Structure 1
Amino acid sequence: MIPKGVLEGLRVDMQEVANLAAATGVSYFKGAFRSKAFDGKAWPRAKVDEAGKRRRGSLMVQSAALMNSVRTAEATPDRVVWAAGNEKVPYAQVHNEGGRAGRGAGFDMPKRQFMGEAEELEEQIGRRINIFLQGIFK
């Protein structure tokens, strides 16, 4: 049990907690590009081209523009919001959710989610907040 005197003087900076959660989320979402998976579920594999070869290199990381567009849009004590995409990366949503993509007739883009609610992320944020709070009590 924590002594009452310790608790009375305790002040947790909730903005610092929000910033910690925000940074953890950005790191987790960018990590999806390296692991080619989201929340423990692997992305669909790349299609085989006409020559019978699969795409080389990392899936969805040709210029890294999409991965680098992942950012914290808002971090307050009340909520944390992440975003991806910008005027140079208008395709972020279709990659994350799947759907119709491309010019002209287009094609069906498989869902390769890299952002959203994830149990793994919630666990990571929880662990980091616990470590932060343990540091306050020392």
Structure 2
Amino acid sequence: MVAYYRLRGYDIGENCRISRSAILDRAHHKGVHIGDNTRILMEAMILAHDFSRAALEGQSMWCDTRIGNNCVIGGRTMIMPGVTIGNHVYVGGGAVVTHDVPDHCLVAGNPARIIRRGMVLSDRGQILERGEKVKQEV
């Protein structure tokens, strides 16, 4: 499967696992960048183009969406165009990631917010260090 994505122009690192039901942007193959040892679970969607932004703000509709090394992208997650996700990031299932995410975080929700900082994931997506919980402002 990784060979198929490489043929189409996706930038996918070594030892990645991508579910067959995951959707990687087919309109802008070269805008999707995925780091080493990353797991993308069922029905996750990664977008790299945004026609509405181009029409409203006069920007290019083609964006680069980046996912770092040792990340887990949960089931039915949506990664919006132009977002950069750092290394060792766990994105909870069903999250909608609209902004950049720093390294070593757990994010969840719609829109996705940081739940934990200081997380470390193994190269197989297992949580090695849980980090500390972030207090949410009401």
What is the TM-score with the length of structure 1 in the denominator?
Answer: 0.21
Higher Cα Rg: structure 1 or 2? 1
| Greater RCO, CA 8 A, separation 6+ | 1
Higher normalized helix content (fraction of residues): 1
Higher normalized strand content (fraction of residues): 2
